[in-house]
Amino acid sequence: MDLYGPGSISGFLDLDRPLTGEDDEAERLWSNGTGGSADPGATEARPYRFWPDRQGLIGWGHDQHGSAYYFWPVEPEPADWAIVVRSECDEWHESFGPFTAFILGCFEGVGRPAFMDRSWPGPEPRYESYA
């Protein structure tokens, strides 16, 4: 994501990334939908905390069906952070390993969320930059 910036993979999965580094941009991209700082905590329906809480989910993308994609910082190194996906129906999927392994697994049909559109990414996936 640092190399290519924000964009879309085959018009389905949008990768969100800060461009300016301003606080309001980070709040808009990574808020938990409740105004940011007041995370009510994990519940049965929402089993994860959100940033800025310790090990809180950090949003990095969304798809055309309303699923949200997050980094889950359970490891000290960002390259080792897990991926969590929440479907539009509040189903959750965890994937452990680097971001690139998750994306490649989705391309190959390995370890991808069961609720992810099976027609994606198509025969020739492409990255389209928004930068």
Neighbour-count burial of 68, counting CB atoms closer than 10 A to its CB (0-12 exposed, 13-18 middle, 19+ buried): middle
Domain extents for the chain? Answer: 7-33+48-115
**Cα(34)–Cα(8) distance, integer angstroms:** 26
pLDDT in tens, 57-68: 988 899 999 999
Mean pLDDT of the chain: 80
44, 30 contact by CB (below 8 A): no
pLDDT in tens, 6-59: 899 988 999 886 555 566 665 655 554 433 334 445 555 578 888 888 889 988
